[in-house]
Structures are given as structure tokens and as C-alpha cells.
Amino acid sequence: MSLLSVLLKFVMFTAFQYKIDESHGLKHSMDVLQNAHNIYESELPKYPELCKMERIIYVSSILHDMCDKKYMMESDGIENIQTFLGDKMDESEIKSVEQIITTMSYSKVKKQGFPELGELQRAYHIVREADLLAAYDFDRCMIYKMNTNDSSIEDSFNDASKLFQNRVFRHVEDKLLVTDYSRSKHYELQSHALQRISVWKKLIRSPSIM
């Protein structure tokens, strides 16, 4: 079985074990992996040394939420990941994955800024931005709100709308996107999210399903 297969199965198992809802489960890991691949390929011609980091980028992208403090103690998640990767990557690679996934969250970056990771820095930004691009999925945000707060669709919509206005749509303004690919993708994804928000607003107000 390929490394990709066992990584995704690990995400499925961990999501089940820790009751990680679909907003941060398998589909999200797959979306972030796709984003990371696209950013990596766009950056590689400018920074060919990134080829040494390709596996670290992909593994980090898949596993990044498997130690998320919203669902578990971060230390427990990291220990599980280290054990899982122990016979699949060398020690330095596992350490690099750990450095990326424990410093890339939006809240940590806003509070502490970007970490100094040396030769790992560009790989870090690729994984971090791959996750940020996945955050433009408005439905995913509502799903998280509905799962965590047991909220109505109306409350989840309102909370998600506020988060998008105060956070997601400010990614460029807040200088959180450093790659050309992500900065250009921001506008396309923002437009799609606004269309999605507009349709949800109509559905929520529709007399036939009120």
C-alpha cells in the first residue's frame, strides 16, 4: 500500500477516534493536499531546492489537523503522528513535519507571527497557505459551526459570515499569503464564497423551508 493510502487511512482512523467532524476530516486533508501540490508546482521553477521538501510538504498537508487542539491535546496528536510515521520517514523528516503542523495555525500565526524555520521556511508557507485556501469553503465553515455549537443553520450562517468578513477575506490585507499562487487564488475563491453566501442567504429566507 502506498504512503499516500496509509496517510489517508490514518486520517480516517484519527477522525473516528477523536470525533473530528467532516470540516477537519478526510475531505479537508484531501483538499489541503491538492492546494499544496498546486502551490508547490507554481513555486518549484523559482525555488528548485523545494524538490527536497516535496514529501514533507505532502505529509504535513495531509496530517496537519490530526493534532488540532479543537479536538484533542496537541501533544497527544503529535505523539500519535510520530508513532505512525516512525517506520515511514526518517527522524529529521518527522521533525520537519512536526515543526510545520505545530506552528501553522491561523491563531498561532496571528499571535506569534511566522516562525523562523530556515531551509524549511518555504515548505512551511506552502502547507500553511494550502490550509488557508481551504478555509474559503463557506459550507465547511458552517458545518464546523453546526457540529461544535449544535447551532441552527441560521446561527451557523451568521457566525460563518462574520468569520469570513473578519478573517478569510482579509488574508491578503493581513499579509498571510506570501506566494504568488495563493495571492492570485484569493480573489477567485473570495468571489466563489460570496456567491455561496448569497445563495445561502436566499435559502435561509425562503418561505418554503422556513
Q: How far is CA 145 from CA 89, 100, 105, 139, 153, in A?
A: 35, 26, 18, 10, 9
Instruction: Compute the distance between CA of residue 70 and CA of residue 204 in angstroms, rounded to an integer.
Output: 28
Q: How far is CA 73 from CA 62, 78, 116, 163, in A?
A: 19, 9, 24, 24
Q: Give the chain's domain count.
A: 1
* Structural domain of 147: 3-209
CATH (domain of 68): 1.10.3210.10
E strands present in 22-134: none
pLDDT tens for residues 76-97? 999 999 999 999 999 999 999 9
Whole-model pTM: value is 0.96
pLDDT tens for residues 165-204? 999 999 999 999 999 999 999 999 999 999 999 999 999 9
Q: Is 55 helix (H, G, I), strand (E, B) or coil?
A: helix
